[in-house]
Amino acid sequence: MQGIGIGPALRRARLLRGKSIEEASRETRIRAEYLHALERESFEALLGDVYVRGFLRSYSTYLGLDPDKVLSIYNRHFGQPGTTLPAPPPGPARVSRSTTPHLPEHHRLHPSWRFLIGVALLLFAIFGAVGLLSRSRSVPPAQNLGASQPSIPALPPPVTVTLRAIQEVHLTVRLDGGSATNYVLRANESRSFQAEARIEVLLSQGGVTAITVNGHSLGVPGVLTGSYRASFGPTDFRTPASPSPSGRAHPSPSTSGRSSLSPSAP
């Protein structure tokens, strides 16, 4: 099967393009041993006539040769490609011999549907009864729900104090027993404070600051000749029954320095 001229023509075209067998194999994705077989015209070493024709067409096209001329030369020596016959249809499926040949076909190996439906209904009834029993045991009686839940106590409202300076004054404020904070209120300047339990206020001078506690105006307490100190809680001045903060007497001006709150500049 040699000497038809295809192999030397392929090798000559490859050398003219300056390609090695390995380069041509990488670029055509045809294995190198198949390219060697084509150039040696060892067509019997390939996988079959269909593969030989496909490799010849791809390789000759890659080398710049006319693939139709190459295949016509191959056909003159080896004949035209044969028609591909379809695969034979599969034979009839083998039927296993029944173990109950005496029974009709529609009665063999078929369970009783009435029996299966009865078993399913019985299982549903059992599961439903178990679920109802478990729910009835886990849920407490409705009449005991209200008695078992403790009532949530209402939280007391916070205490709110607003101060508006008529003229400049030094202010010291302590919220809920925390550290004291100093401010300087300019004329017509206002500040509001809110705490949970207690607001302590110390003004360097009384009679120059309007005070509102929990929405109730105290006017301008204190006198000009001394400081003013007071302490307010959440329930002070909220009802007519508690006209004074924390049950004490009305806040009065104080000039003593015994309190932890002392007037000082910020």
Q: Using only C-alpha atoms, what is the Rg of the chain?
A: 54
**CATH class of the domain defined by 6-78:** mainly alpha
> Are 210 and 191 contacting, i.e. CB atoms less than 8 angstroms apart?
no
Q: What pLDDT, on the 0 to 100 scale, is given for residue 156?
A: 57
* Structure-token match 């120059």, residue found: 208
Q: Which amino acid is at 243?
A: P
Q: How far apart are CA 205 and CA 225, in angstroms?
A: 7
> Are 39 and 13 contacting, i.e. CB atoms less than 8 angstroms apart?
no
| Per-block mean pLDDT, blocks of 10 residues, the chain (266 long) | 78 93 94 93 87 92 93 87 52 51 49 70 67 50 47 62 92 91 92 91 92 92 92 84 45 44 51
Give 143's DSSP letter: G
Q: Are strands 209-213 and 159-165 parallel, antiparallel or unpaired?
A: antiparallel
- Entry pTM: 0.38
Q: What pLDDT, on the 0 to 100 scale, is given for residue 69?
A: 92
Q: What pLDDT, on the 0 to 100 scale, is given for residue 185?
A: 85
The first and second tokens of residue 3, run together, are: 């000497």
Domain range list for the chain: 6-78, 159-254
Q: How far apart are CA 238 and CA 217, in angstroms?
A: 11
**116 phi and psi, to 5 degrees?**
-65, -40
> Are 128 and 122 contacting, i.e. CB atoms less than 8 angstroms apart?
no
The first and second tokens of residue 247, run together, are: 């049950």
First and final C-alpha spacing in the chain:
113
Q: What pLDDT, on the 0 to 100 scale, is given for residue 149?
A: 47
